[in-house]
Chains A and B, each alone.
Chain A
Amino acid sequence: MSYMTINGKKIEFRSGETIVEAAQKAGIYIPTLCHLPRSGHGDVCRICSVEVKGQDRFLPACSTHAEEGMCIETETPALIALRKHILTTILAEGRHDCFMRAIPNSKSPYQIAAMNMPHREHACPSDGRCELQTLVLKYQIPVKDIVPEEGDFVLDNKHPMITRDFSRCIQCGRCASACNAIQVNEAIPSQFGRRAEKENWLPLVNYDNCTHCGECLQVCPTGALSAKKAYGLSTKKDELIKIRTTCPYCGVGCQQELLVKEGRIIEVNGVADAEPNLGRLCVKGRFGYDFIYSKDRLTTPLIRQEDGSFKSASWDEALELIATKFTDTIEKYGADSVAGVSCSRSINEDSYQMQKLFRSIFKTNNIDNCART
């Protein structure tokens, strides 16, 4: 183990850890904004700058490796001034019009229309859990004095599930990194490059490559990228329940975190540090949850009558009927006359039980799962 000092406190770290990682383990908070540990993306916003003894300039904690004997300060007046400066500039560059700040005529017709839809409470889809907003509050930026810079902002609203509102984009590059390094769809080209060539560049999507996985949504620290379905629904942390579950769509078993309010799913995200998906989700896992609220959804078993119509039945009744039919068929035609196909949306354990049922009770190997292909 190696040791270094942060804010006068001696902490230990393992070789190869960054300053942020080491500080986190020791319970020391260093703010970050652009940092996306899963993709190695960082070193952009400089909010995490720290003072390292012996260096003539600040170093970014998210991408500087911890070294034996390093002496680090994380909250000096100079650093706080730097963070305030950065946050102020970000606020001036965009139209960050959350509750802290009323910018005249800043809301686009799209935002106004969205706000007028039922259940919509906030103009910004990220209000209450925006990472920029959190930092602005923490560092008490005098937002009212900030004069917004002039600028036109693109609104990309063509996608069926995602809205890209660049008036709230801070150009942190997380979405591009998530698309290119995590999902490797390479649909969002990086916006970095000489300003003389790329000044007004925005992370617009090449929809030919896009698989609509929504990874970019999950990593956006502000409200620039948002799910249409969730727009304006409450996203305040204290109003939401987080439920961890397994994605029911295929056999991979991705871990999901549902954000639920009053029994309704508002958003689905991947669980960052859980196998097997490590935070990733596909288009089905992230956006395909509307069916749970479908009016056509069956809520009880139905038994077909002689005349072809269905009669609703209890589970006992239905299972009893199925058991009788299976037993009769097997007795009459042998065990191989029946076959089972386990649904790919059932979890691994259920599929296991299904094959157990067919192999050891029915005595047939006719068992498969439609996720196998």
Chain B
Amino acid sequence: MSIIDTWAGDKVSIETKAVMGFGGVTINDSSVDVLDMIRAYMDKAAGESCGQCFPCRSGLKNIAKRLNALCEGNASDNNSENDIEYLANLAKVVMSSARCDIGQTSPKALLDIIENAPNLLAARKVTKGNYTSLVTAPCMNACPGHVDIPTYIENIRLRQFDEGLSCVMDKCSMPGTIGRVCERPCEAACKRGQNGTPIAIRHLKRFLFDKNTSPNIIKTEVAPLAKKQKVAVVGAGPAGLSCAYHLSKQSFPVTIFEKQQRSGGMAKYGIPDYRLPAAVLKKEVACVQALGCEIQYSVDVGSDVSVQELLEQKGYSAVFIASGAPDAPSMRCENEQHCTTGYISGIEYLNEATRGNKIIHGTRVVVVGGGNVAMDCVRTALRHGFTDVQIIYRRTELEMPADKLEIHEAKLEGVTFNFLLAPTKIHHANGCVTGISCQKMELGEADASGRRSPVPIEGEIFELECDVIIHAIGQKVTVGYILGGLSGEGNAGLDKYNNLEADPFTGKVSSFNNLFGGGDCATGPKTLIAALAAGERAALHIADYLEGKEVSASKIEILEHALESIKIVDDVEIAPPTDLTASIPLHALPVDERLYDFSEVEQGSIDAEACKEASRCLRCFRILMVAS
């Protein structure tokens, strides 16, 4: 039974003595000193205030000051009621007139206490408790990496471009890549989107990266390699690079072992240059190397050297496995095994294409799938000179997992989309593909993912002639051979899907102390930003392990995780006033200039455009504090 419970909206699903925050107050345990906790909460809020709007800047400061006095036992005129009236008035002023949600939401907790239990605020000497606080926002909450989005957007508005970039790089070591190809869950959560266009968060991140023209974007002075214990990272993809970056920043010597000849993993070999130019990745990798990290190419951990050797003979104290999901599952349709020419996976096709090779020939290509890989395949095929490029997808455009912008661009460039078709049979002559038969589908009941699953319409078959079929229907993890002898008998370290069994918070692989992992190899194919986040989190816990501390999820991580599942912007909140500032114009290469080569399609913005876009941000910060 709660002592006070005024929380409005979704509750934070976490076992705790007390919660204070944007939704109100929940006190579950009488041992919590409400006066001390609200003091800590308002102190935190005053520290988060950006100092711009006067009511919030001075109001929160004065509230915190008065609460601190009460906690010392000093009521003004020896009468706490005067103080409470003063606090209530100030809180109302701040909430009604503050510029952003720090001022508009944080005094709610104080007002709720004043309304429900003013006696708890009587002046007295308090003993200070232990509290964990978290500052988040809808966009930050939606981002797997919890990048502090409103802060760097504010930096752009105030033309503090270097500060903005370093704010991004605190959490995300690949701002240029993420700024171009992220799936941007943040933009879907943006409150501006309720009543207009969301802030172009991804594009602004790219702007910050492009704006920085210095050869080495890392400015912070770190003592490279000051620490003794070495860490090996398997795979120089996003998760591996991110882990190496964050470990190097803490002065641990890191060696990355990469099977391929270049760094970047799927970002390098899975994303074509017209979306992500090679120079961007190169600059980001140089940044990791500048911190002292070594990268060894053409080393296949698992066959050239085993993890066991790394740990026992080569002197590495810990290994982080980030081998990704580099294989393609089969399409499971008739005649798949008989085709030697003209039938390949999207991953293989893109892999060769990013190396400058064109491994398929003809004029007509059919791509099976509806994700971003499928979009990359069709757009690459157009640039390879295919004139008839078709997509086959078993649901409709609404259910397509690919980025809406990618679908739009693919259509512009001349791709034909065929929906509600599932491939059943490949036609071939002498081992060469000649066509494909598809079963027509219709949408049935919603499945576990919430999408309506396709059901075949009996007897309706659709045939398509083509020279090449590319299947882009997913990716497969192949991490087992990397663990090799370590697993002993059975599948220690692997879960039931044969993915790496790594702790989602710490990255620690079950049943090993010094083995960590993250990214696609642990989760199955996920987003780039999720891989970066996994690498960053694991780096913190690897450092904990090397320093002899306990490896377990921190309070803030648990809190962040608990928040991820709830909507932190209330539906009943009044939508922001219509925004008449035009959203940022996105410049792209004209369609008729695109298809001759792999030049980048999306172009950057100038300062004025970015600053204007940044000024649209509502700064929907939310502050949460729990007692432990």
Contact = CB atoms under 8 A, between A and B. Distances in A.
Contacts of A181: 159
Contacts of B52: 43-44, 173, 192
Interface string A75-90: 0001000100110011
Contact of B53 (A16, A45, A189): A45
Contact of B51 (A57, A180, A195): A195
Nearest to A47: B54
Contact of A65 (B96, B574, B581): B581
B53 A194 contact: no
B57 interface: yes
A43 B99 contact: yes
Interface string B97-119: 11100001000000000000000
Nearest to A191: B51
Contacts of B579: 65
A53 to B, nearest CB: 11
Contacts, number: 96
A181 B611 CA distance: 10
A73 interface: no
B158 A190 contact: yes
A37 interface: no
A78 B46 CA distance: 24
B53 A57 contact: no
Most chain B Cβ neighbours within 10 Å, of A44, A59, A180, A186: A44
Interface in B73-100: 93, 95-99
A202 B287 CA distance: 33
B54 A193 contact: no
Contact of A55 (B57, B574, B615): B574
Contact of B50 (A16, A49, A195): A195
B48 A86 contact: no
A344 to B, nearest CB: 31
B548 interface: no
Interface residues of B, number: 34
A60 interface: yes
A56 interface: yes
A86 B49 CA distance: 16
B160 interface: yes
Contacts of B329: none
Contact of B577 (A15, A52, A89, A191): A52
A40 interface: yes
B315 interface: no
A58 to B, nearest CB: 5
Interface string B32-57: 00000000000000111111111101
Contacts of A47: 54
B50 A193 contact: yes
Interface string A30-65: 000000000010011111010010111111100011
A255 interface: no
B53 A43 contact: yes
A274 B462 CA distance: 70
Nearest to B99: A43
Report the contact-size class of chain A (Cβ under 8 Å from the partner).
35 or more
A138 interface: no
Contact of A44 (B46, B54, B159, B581): B54
Contacts of B62: 89
A171 interface: yes
A198 interface: yes
Given A57-B97, A93-B58, A190-B160, A198 B51 contact: yes
A121 B153 CA distance: 46
A67 interface: yes
Interface string B399-411: 0000000000000
Contacts of B95: 57
B97 A56 contact: no
B61 interface: yes
Contact of B97 (A49, A64, A195): A49
A194 B46 CA distance: 9
A58 B97 contact: yes
Contacts of A44: 52-54, 99
B578 interface: yes
Contacts of B578: 65, 67
A59 to B, nearest CB: 7
Nearest to B45: A195
Nearest to B104: A57
A89 B58 contact: yes
A298 interface: no
B580 interface: yes
A85 B46 contact: no
A196 interface: yes
Contacts of B61: 195
Contacts of B50: 192-195
Given A15-B580, A190-B158, A195-B48, A45 B104 contact: no
Nearest to A186: B159
B583 to A, nearest CB: 14
B247 to A, nearest CB: 26
B615 A40 contact: yes
A171 B51 contact: yes
Contact of A196 (B48, B55, B104): B48
Nearest to A43: B99
Contact of B57 (A56, A64, A195): A195
Interface in A191-229: 191-196, 198, 201
A361 B95 CA distance: 75
A232 B530 CA distance: 61
A55 B154 CA distance: 24
Nearest to A173: B52
A195 B62 CA distance: 13
Given A67-B578, A67-B580, A82 B47 contact: no
Contacts of B104: 57
Contacts of B97: 46, 49, 57-58, 82
A361 B491 CA distance: 103
A65 B615 CA distance: 13
A46 B47 contact: no
27 contacts: A16-B580, A43-B53, A44-B99, A46-B55, A57-B96, A57-B97, A58-B97, A65-B581, A67-B580, A78-B96, A86-B54, A86-B55, A89-B59, A90-B58, A93-B58, A171-B57, A173-B52, A186-B159, A190-B158, A190-B159, A190-B160, A192-B50, A193-B50, A194-B50, A195-B50, A195-B57, A196-B47
A-B pairs, 9 with minimum CB distance? A196-B47, A65-B580, A89-B58, A190-B158, A58-B97, A195-B49, A57-B96, A192-B52, A44-B52
Given A43-B52, A45-B54, A181-B159, 15 more contacts: A44-B54, A52-B577, A57-B97, A57-B104, A58-B96, A64-B577, A65-B579, A85-B55, A86-B55, A180-B158, A192-B158, A194-B50, A194-B51, A195-B46, A195-B47
